[in-house]
Chain A
């Protein structure tokens, strides 16, 4: 049961669960708080983990996870390696729009330690969108929280007519 599967548990009524995976402690917490403060008409539970696999002791208490966000800090090469290692513990069915890569710290390009093309390649290999944000600033943190909340709403199926599979349009570019 170490691998996370998308549909292995029963969903709860009118609630959605988001999992944030990343090695940065403070900003994960702040992002989770920003998400919870947003106005929404369904219950949101945000789970935070530094890496996968999640400990199996509390597995029976954990609800079904609707969306996983992997956080990569551009200033920290270790966070990229952490995310790459954690991806092995996610079932393939999650990558149909329920996974997203969030690259943080882009405000400080001068402190960039991560090879950007490795991140793009990661997004392409796993067919998941790559979002960029800066969590140190209040404004962009709130904007990112709103965006993630909207994506979560779609992943959990609360937007009629739109499914998580549409997120592939965030990645492909239309070439002539």
Chain B
């Protein structure tokens, strides 16, 4: 069932904003557990205020060239524990070792090879632009490209799999680490699952780290919806779309709620108090406004359903841990949020 309320004028009762001027405490579930264990005297942790995703001003021109291949692709998210004895100086060696490993894995179980086999070339490079501050480790890109050896004239290499490690504003994790560890908590993958397993196994064996799938809870997705709605985009962009899944029905039901971008931005502008900062209360009010508007028209409580996918002009995120970047200027900002979630999952 697809429901598209095509309202051009969201006339919403902003008076329901129960704002006391004081931010409420809102942290993802995992972190709340951790904080209350460490500080028994102050049971509730201090308010999280996330900074609004800002467009990277200075590096826009160069960035777009080098990171253009990151946009408009579906990336699956993983969280990675710190890597032991990883050094950026040895990236060439790592490429060679990894390509040997990949070749060995691919040949495993094959009795006879007929015809031209695909040579898989592995490249491990560094992406120095993708980091928040100088304290962060530069992003590492691993690419598997195949070149068919049957036609040597056609030496065009096609990238069949890419994965990149990155860390944007990961101070919380990196400042407490011993010397030998490198902090790159976020891993994004595009390509076949079999290749992901091979590369993941090699990294786990070589650097003693652990990969875990990063799934996005509806709580985090609602934060993303609110944060990304507030971002200014230049070209006419698509509507903000939220997809909900209704639980416990005999046939799965998905409700898609599309909101005109200008209306959503107007709503967010009335809610946000301090430009550049977002609190939990503001996110709650934003989502409650959307839910109550939907209820008024369709008599369905969206708050009782599960938010599964958020799709905005900046990026789109799915609860299974799949993300798609749409705007290069906000890439660092989105990565900062994802790094935070990855660190939460590790701890």
What is A's interface to B at a CB cutoff of 8 Å? 23, 26, 74-79, 81, 109-118, 120-121, 124, 173-176
B28 surroundings in chain A (CB, below 8 A) = 112, 116
Q: Is the CB of A114 within 8 A of B219?
A: yes
CA distance A113 to B219 in the complex (A): 4
Known A121-B44, A173-B43; judge A115-B280 contact (CB<8 A).
yes
Q: Is the CB of A121 within 8 A of B24?
A: yes
CA distance A111 to B219 in the complex (A): 8
Q: Within residues 280 to 294 of chain B, which ones have a CB less than 8 A from any CB in chain A? A: 280, 284
Say yes or no: is B307 at the interface (Cβ < 8 Å to chain A): yes
Known A75-B306, A112-B29; judge A117-B44 contact (CB<8 A).
yes
CA distance A145 to B215 in the complex (A): 31
Say yes or no: is B150 at the interface (Cβ < 8 Å to chain A): no
B25 surroundings in chain A (CB, below 8 A) = 117, 120-121
> How near does chain A come to B321, taking the closest CB pair, in angstroms?
9
What is B's interface to A at a CB cutoff of 8 Å? 24-30, 32-33, 36, 40-41, 43-45, 215, 217-219, 222, 247-248, 280, 284, 301, 303-304, 306-307, 319
Known A76-B304, A77-B304; judge A109-B27 contact (CB<8 A).
no
B218 surroundings in chain A (CB, below 8 A) = 75, 111-113
Closest residue of B by beta carbon distance from A106 = B29
A26 surroundings in chain B (CB, below 8 A) = 248
Instruction: Give me 9 A-to-B residue pairs in the complex whose CB atoms sit less than 8 angstroms apart, sorted by A's number.
Output: A23-B304, A110-B215, A112-B218, A113-B222, A116-B29, A117-B26, A117-B32, A121-B24, A173-B43
CA distance A176 to B42 in the complex (A): 11
B306 surroundings in chain A (CB, below 8 A) = 75, 111, 113
Q: Is the CB of A109 within 8 A of B44?
A: no
A114 surroundings in chain B (CB, below 8 A) = 219
A109 surroundings in chain B (CB, below 8 A) = 29-30, 217
A115 surroundings in chain B (CB, below 8 A) = 24, 26, 219, 280, 284
> How near does chain A come to B323, taking the closest CB pair, in angstroms?
15
B301 surroundings in chain A (CB, below 8 A) = 78
CA distance A79 to B30 in the complex (A): 20
Pick from B30, B217, B284 the residue with the most CB of A within 10 Å. Answer: B217
A75 surroundings in chain B (CB, below 8 A) = 218, 247, 306
User: Which of A23, A111, A121 contacts B217, CB < 8 Å?
Assistant: A111
CA distance A76 to B219 in the complex (A): 10
Closest residue of A by beta carbon distance from B40 = A173
CA distance A109 to B24 in the complex (A): 21
CA distance A81 to B26 in the complex (A): 16
A121 surroundings in chain B (CB, below 8 A) = 24-25, 44
Q: Is the CB of B45 within 8 A of A117?
A: yes
Pick from B25, B44, B219 the residue with the most CB of A within 10 Å. Answer: B219
Q: A109-B217, A110-B217, A117-B32 are in contact. List 10 more A-B contacts (CB 8 A).
A: A75-B218, A77-B304, A111-B218, A114-B219, A116-B29, A117-B24, A117-B25, A173-B40, A175-B40, A175-B41
Q: Is the CB of B303 within 8 A of A176?
A: no
A120 surroundings in chain B (CB, below 8 A) = 25, 32, 36, 43-44
CA distance A120 to B36 in the complex (A): 11
**Pairs of residues from A and B, 10 with the lowest C-beta to C-beta distance, nearest first:** A175-B41, A78-B304, A117-B25, A77-B303, A78-B303, A113-B218, A112-B217, A110-B215, A173-B40, A115-B26
